[in-house]
Chains A and B, each alone.
Chain A
Amino acid sequence: MILRVFNWLMIVFMLAPLALIVWMSFTPTAMFRLPVDNFSLRWYREAFNYPGFLNSFLLSARLALISGLLSSALAFFAAYGLVRYRIPGRAAREGLFMAPLLIPAVVFGVAMLQFVNGIGLYNSFWALVIAHTTIVTPYTIRTIHAQLRAVPEELELAAMNLGASHAATLWRITLPLCRRGVLAGFLLSFIISFAEVTVTIFMTGPAYQTLPIRIYNYLTDQVDPTVVAISAMLIGLSLALIVLLDRAGGLKTLRRK
């Protein structure tokens, strides 16, 4: 009984800051007050008139899409190699793929700023793609690896026995059999990339502000309920993606750990 009440209190604690943003986003006034009997979409209109918002949203979406696809594709091949063959230095390689989880994000942010300046990519889209691809890789490789281990090797051997090439087997047997893992890995990487702040803030120039960075700069500069409405939309989008990810079975692989 006590545990049950405590659990509900913690649920309130978990959701309170998110729920309050959504509630407050419907305020008709310019004050940070929770509207009680008067709701309006005024700040949503303001959000879409705010010029940086749409640009940043599209940039974040493009970045999450490209780095997610890149990482999922490479992770699929790498996971296949790791599952099907005995590879020398396997532990080192798995360590390499998991390293971004162990190294503090600030350390990588400082490093990336210096690196992209050194190779002349500062304030460019592709610098962000490189950084985000490496950041999301631990998640894609873990999800896809877990699913691939459940694919029986006999099915692949049978296909090759019947004359399918190795490439055709991969494309028509292995990939379809672990499509849920690949989809889950991609969705998870999309969410992580879309929410990434720490590394990105070190390497974004003025021309390439992702949505979280745009909101951060807005908050440290001026604050009006426009940013509440933008945040509310972001929460809505995140929730939709999380439900989608859960449907694809992606949260199960994370839970199993």
Chain B
Amino acid sequence: MRWAPVLFVAPLAVVMALGFVVPSVQSVLNSFHPNTPSGIDGAIWTLENYGKLVDSFYVGILGRTLRVSLTISAITAVLAYPVAIYIAGLSGRAQALFLLVYMTPWLVNAVVKAFGWALLLASNGIINRWLRAAEVIDVPLRLMFNETGIMIGLVHGHFVFVLLPLWAALSGLDSNLRWAAANLGARPWSIFWRITLPLTLPALLAGVIINFTLNMAAFATPALLGGARAPVVSYLAYETVLVDLNWPLGAAMAMVLLAITLALVLLSQWVAARGKRRVMFEGTR
């Protein structure tokens, strides 16, 4: 009986350890071995894979990945806020229905979504054909195979991860606070800036962090809507590993991606914790 709890948890723990932790650790180790024509040389330890990444080509791609991922998160936050406010004020049934619609893109596979966007955004796609037929433009707009395409695809694909926490925070908000503020003469905008926004900021930040990590890691959407003309780290790692067959270099790229993602997540959590302390401290004064 004393061992029962261990027996319940152990099978899944073993599967996760062997199927997830071991491969990940092995990949970390591989990134420190050189790639030779006959395979990975496990006897030699080296930093040469990471050294290769300090190069304007790779740094530029990493910079694009960060810039695009952050921009997507910012755009998503701005778009999700009004939607969350609107949905939180609806009846229970309507809330459930709208949330279901917003969840749908997440549960459809990324290749199909990207293909749908390609039909819309291509130079001979639906949007450009309509705009030309309406004589708004002469030359087709470049909406894909660049950063614009990646951003449109991922704002769409990862929208729900910001919307859900925001919606949960807003519907849990004590509406008396807003009534009290309005009663005391606050205008709608100042209620939003001084009551609603500060109280839902932790939820917004939580959603943005998840959104950001998913943007950094996305593969199919940037590969199909950005492609080789706007490569991001995941696309580059794919080419390096499966086309150039240089596994250690690809592993090093993955590690850089992982390190930056984790560092930014920890940093924002630290900022959030500090912010919360400050609010509490000022609140007691």
By a beta-carbon cutoff of 8 Å, the part of chain A in contact with chain B is: 3-4, 6-7, 10-11, 13-18, 20-21, 24, 32, 34, 70, 74-75, 77-78, 80-82, 84-87, 93, 96-97, 99-100, 102-115, 118, 130-131, 133-134, 137, 141, 166, 191-192, 194-198, 201-202, 212-213, 215-216, 219-220, 227-228, 231, 234-235, 238-239, 241-242, 246, 251, 254-257
- Chain B: number of interface residues, binned into ranges: 35 or more
Q: Which of B6, B82, B104, B125 contacts A14 (CB 8 A)?
A: B104
A202 lies within 8 A of B79 (CB): no
Instruction: For chain B, residues 96 to 113, give those with C-beta under 8 angstroms from any C-beta of chain A.
Output: 96, 98-105, 107-113
Residues of B near A70 (CB, < 8 A) are 15
What are 8 sample pairs from A and B whose C-beta atoms fall under 8 A apart? A74-B15, A77-B8, A87-B9, A107-B24, A107-B27, A198-B234, A235-B112, A254-B103
Q: Which are the 8 A-B pairs with shortest beta-carbon distances?
A: A17-B116, A81-B8, A104-B217, A85-B5, A111-B27, A195-B109, A115-B23, A78-B12
Distance in angstroms from A73 CB to nearest chain B CB is 9
How long is the Cα–Cα vector from A238 to B124 in the complex, in angstroms?
28
Residue of B nearest to A22 (CB): B116
A99 lies within 8 A of B107 (CB): no
How long is the Cα–Cα vector from A70 to B15 in the complex, in angstroms?
10
How long is the Cα–Cα vector from A239 to B9 in the complex, in angstroms?
34
How long is the Cα–Cα vector from A234 to B111 in the complex, in angstroms?
11
Residues of B near A17 (CB, < 8 A) are 105, 113, 115-117, 119-120, 156
Residues of B near A18 (CB, < 8 A) are 104-105, 108, 112-113, 116
Q: Which of B9, B98, B116, B219 contacts A7 (CB 8 A)?
A: B98
B111 lies within 8 A of A14 (CB): no
How long is the Cα–Cα vector from A241 to B109 in the complex, in angstroms?
13
Q: Would you call the interface of chain A mostly helix, strand, loop, or mixed?
A: helix
Q: Which of A6, A14, A108 contacts B101 (CB 8 A)?
A: A14
A78 lies within 8 A of B109 (CB): no
Residue of B nearest to A100 (CB): B20
Distance in angstroms from B9 CB to nearest chain A CB is 4
How long is the Cα–Cα vector from A96 to B83 in the complex, in angstroms?
34
Residues of B near A7 (CB, < 8 A) are 82-83, 86-87, 98
User: Given A70-B15, A104-B234, A255-B99, list of 9 further CB < 8 A pairs?
Assistant: A6-B82, A7-B86, A21-B119, A96-B17, A192-B107, A195-B109, A198-B219, A238-B104, A242-B107
Number of A-B contacts (CB under 8 A): 257
Distance in angstroms from A16 CB to nearest chain B CB is 7
Type the 1/0 row for B4-16, where 1 means its CB is closer than 8 Å to any CB of A: 1111110111011
B233 contacts the other chain (CB 8 A): yes
Distance in angstroms from B185 CB to nearest chain A CB is 23
Type the 1/0 row for B186-226, where 1 means its CB is closer than 8 Å to any CB of A: 00000000000000000000000000010011111001100
B156 lies within 8 A of A197 (CB): no
B24 lies within 8 A of A111 (CB): yes
Instruction: For chain B, residues 130 to 149, give those with C-beta under 8 angstroms from any C-beta of chain A.
Output: none
B164 contacts the other chain (CB 8 A): yes
How long is the Cα–Cα vector from A6 to B83 in the complex, in angstroms?
7
Residues of A near B79 (CB, < 8 A) are 10
How long is the Cα–Cα vector from A246 to B100 in the complex, in angstroms?
8
Q: Which of B52-60, B254-262, B272-280 contacts A (4 or more CB under 8 A)?
A: B254-262
How long is the Cα–Cα vector from A202 to B196 in the complex, in angstroms?
44
B111 lies within 8 A of A219 (CB): yes
Residue of B nearest to A117 (CB): B247
Residues of B near A102 (CB, < 8 A) are 213, 262, 265
With most chain A CB atoms within 10 A of its CB, the pick from B16, B100, B238 is B16
Distance in angstroms from A126 CB to nearest chain B CB is 11
B86 lies within 8 A of A6 (CB): yes
A96 lies within 8 A of B16 (CB): yes
Q: Which of A82, A106, A198, A235 contacts B9 (CB 8 A)?
A: A82
Q: Which of A16, A34, A86, A238 contacts B108 (CB 8 A)?
A: A238
B180 contacts the other chain (CB 8 A): no
Q: Which of B5, B111, B242 contacts A202 (CB 8 A)?
A: B242
